[in-house]
């Protein structure tokens, strides 16, 4: 109100320039036409929903290249016999009423929701995964939280296996860790007594047999590999039965090469026949360290302020001895917690993952 009744400012220092700017904003000197005022929101890029929707397609191969979705929401609906590839990160994705489709979805910051879909094969990375009223979906999944199925049958799950050069940065842009993957920890919201609505895909399942590489010239430009050894996500056994009674916990503390060191240890251990059961990346506090590291806690507490830790569980006879040997040979000078002995290893694993699941709300 005060501004409405305030006096007009007299031209002084800078006043002439101010008057010219006001005149230019209201009237074009050459044409004498009145100009519409411009606001900051008028300068924003206009978003066309059609650019973020695949709808009513049949027998087509379609997709989006890296950088073309850039964190927006995406909708896929009423598609049949289609191959669909989203080679970018997104906010959320809903997939409705799709039949016999093969789908790749790059990292999703929020949720992916399949509704009323059947006979689809998918590769999906997301924060939250949910299905409702679906039948016969086969999914290679990376999910940061517990996947949920509802009123769905014939569901099968495997561990996400995929690579292309832009994928690592897309995971970062979507706020997803490559080490937080609960792909096999399925919660059936509507179980039926005596029946199992979901199962795991065979260990030998190959992604390319389910979701083939794109065949269109445009999408071929994305240098995709479905080779499990190149996967951006470490391949874990998840809830599959362990081969041995012996497991080992290795915990890397935050530093310049934490991710690279964790991947190196995975390569070293799996090349010797040990199996990677599960991985986690999570922040820890001093009280958490006492519970997980016990008598070694004081040594590691000062390292917790640097960032999240990465934990790996390996399984196999001799896992503890081999893990400690590899750490000493390959990672000299790097602080790593490794289970002290075979007898303590199982308890170390249980302590850490109980803590991690509480931290992640599972």
Instruction: Compute φ and ψ for 66, nearest 5 degrees.
Output: -55, 135
On whether 128 is known to bind a ligand per the annotation, the reply is yes
On whether 38 is known to bind a ligand per the annotation, the reply is no
On whether 111 is known to bind a ligand per the annotation, the reply is yes
Listed residue (81, 166, 78, 157) closest to 122, CA to CA: 157
On whether 40 is known to bind a ligand per the annotation, the reply is no
Parallel, antiparallel, or unpaired for β 61-64 and 83-86? parallel
The answer to whether the beta carbons of residues 168 and 232 sit under 8 Å apart is yes
Residues near 119 by Cβ (< 8 Å), separated by ≥ 6?
99, 100, 135, 136
Burial class (CB in 10 A: 0-12, 13-18, 19+), 345: buried
On whether 127 is known to bind a ligand per the annotation, the reply is yes
User: Where are any strands of DSSP class E within the chain?
Assistant: 53-55, 61-64, 74-77, 83-86, 93-96, 102-115, 118-132, 135-143, 148-150, 155-159, 187-188, 198-200, 247-252, 275-282, 309-315, 336-338
- How far apart (Å, rounded) are the C-alpha atoms in residues 129 and 105? 12
Q: Which residues are annotated as a binding site?
A: 110-111, 127-130
Q: Which residues are annotated as a binding site for GTP?
A: 110-111, 127-130
């Amino acid at each position: 109100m005060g501004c409405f009744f305030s006096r007009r400012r007299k031209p002084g220092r800078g006043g002439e320039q101010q008057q010219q700017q006001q005149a230019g904003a209201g009237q074009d000197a050459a044409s004498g036409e009145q100009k519409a005022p411009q606001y900051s929101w008028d300068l924003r890029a206009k978003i066309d929903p059609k650019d973020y929707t695949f709808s009513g397609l049949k027998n087509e191969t379609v997709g989006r290249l890296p950088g073309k979705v850039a964190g927006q929401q995406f909708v896929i609906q009423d598609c049949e016999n289609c191959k669909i590839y989203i080679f970018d990160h997104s906010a959320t994705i809903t997939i409705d009423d799709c039949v016999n489709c093969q789908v790749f979805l790059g990292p999703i910051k929020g949720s992916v929701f399949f509704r009323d879909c059947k006979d689809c094969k998918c590769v999906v990375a997301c924060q939250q995964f949910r299905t409702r009223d679906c039948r016969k979906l086969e999914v290679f999944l990376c999910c940061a939280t517990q996947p949920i199925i509802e009123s769905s049958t014939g569901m099968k799950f495997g561990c996400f296996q995929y690579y292309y050069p832009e994928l690592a940065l897309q995971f970062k842009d979507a706020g997803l860790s490559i080490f937080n993957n609960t792909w096999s920890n399925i919660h059936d919201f509507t179980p039926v007594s005596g029946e199992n609505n979901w199962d795991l895909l065979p260990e030998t399942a190959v992604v390319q047999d389910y979701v083939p590489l794109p065949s269109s010239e445009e999408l071929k430009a994305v240098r995709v590999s479905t080779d499990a050894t190149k996967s951006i996500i470490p391949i874990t056994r998840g809830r599959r039965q362990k081969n041995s009674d012996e497991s080992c916990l290795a915990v890397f503390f935050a530093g310049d090469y934490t991710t690279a060191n964790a991947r190196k240890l995975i390569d070293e251990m799996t090349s010797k026949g040990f199996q990677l059961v599960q991985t986690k990346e999570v922040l820890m506090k001093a009280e958490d360290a006492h519970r997980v590291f016990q008598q070694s806690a004081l040594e590691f507490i000062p390292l917790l302020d640097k960032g999240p830790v990465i934990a790996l569980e390996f399984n196999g006879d001799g896992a503890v001895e081999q893990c400690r040997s590899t750490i000493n040979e390959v990672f000299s000078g790097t602080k790593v917690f490794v289970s002290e002995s075979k007898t303590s290893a199982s308890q170390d694993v249980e302590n850490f993952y109980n803590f991690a699941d509480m931290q992640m709300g599972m």
